[in-house]
Every structure is written in structure tokens, then in C-alpha cells.
Structure 1
């Protein structure tokens, strides 16, 4: 868990920065390893599609897919309930830098 903690912080930041908080909100965010599931409400399909595109543009998020979408009425307003599934990981460059740092750390400890 500690090893994934910096990635989780980055993912939360990415999601928050790519969310149109005037047109949608999240009700659940769950990360299990490299799998991320986002559940929320949006004003319309276009908003969900734009959020998916925004997430896909992140260097930390890949394979963004719509898991579920349904119409729901809240306070007399038609809203879209959605679930998105995606994968999360450090960008390749950061993975390589981390591997180099770990190798250097091991060699200085020996």
C-alpha cells in the first residue's frame, strides 16, 4: 500500500483536475492495484464522454471504458449515472527512473 501511495495521490489529483464539477460529480472512487473504478452522476452523455476523453489524455490513466450508464431522476431532474473502469500506472519514464533509483539504492546499501 505504501508503495502505491504516491501513485494514488497523483491519480486523485488527475481525476480532480479533469472533472467538470459544474456538470458532474463522483459518488465513488475505488483503486485496487492498477484498476480504477469511478462512479458518478452527470448532466448528460456528452459530459461523461468529455470526462472519459480528459482522463484518457492523462499520462497516469489508460484504457478508459464505460462500464455502465443509466438514466436516473434526482429532484425531478434527469441525470446520467455512470461507472468508468480504467487502468492506472506511472508514466513509463517515471517507472524507468524509479527502477534506476532502486538499483542505485541497493548498490549503496551493499
Structure 2
């Protein structure tokens, strides 16, 4: 069974599934359909996140990205600390996946 997250908007009229057999992320690179790797999550009310930039599969750096609405940060653990994951955030029209960490 594949694991995922179900988000229901406050008004109850829209629901979104991430994982659980439904792909999300960047197509062809991070198109996750299973969140079995996820060890934790939290509501992220920060105004900015730091997106990891990749080139040819290697980490090239990061860039600061402004988020206008609270997001959901999800991560996995390595050596007792969050290692990799990202933030699902609403841009006013759709959810975006911003990769953070390794």
C-alpha cells in the first residue's frame, strides 16, 4: 500500500492527494507517488523556504523562495536529524513542491 497525504481545504469543497499512488513533484525528476520515505511533517508558516537546485543529478546550490501561504513541510531522518524533504505550498491556484535538503 502506498502512503500519502490528503489535504482538504478549509471550506471543504476541494481535496488534494499527494502520494498514495498519485504523482506529485517535478515530472521526470521528483515525481513521487509514495510517501513511505516520510518520517515527519509540520505546518510551515515561514515566509521563505530554501529550494535545493540540482544540475545533472548533483546539488548545485539553493535559492530562497517566498511562499505566500503556510505550507506543509515533510522530511525523512538521517542520523537523528531531518535530512531531505520539501514543502508543499499553495500558490493561489495549485500546490507546488519545493525540494529542500539533499
Normalised by the size of structure 2, how large is the TM-score?
0.26
- Higher RCO structure (Cα 8 Å, ≥6 apart): 1
Normalised by the size of structure 1, how large is the TM-score?
0.25
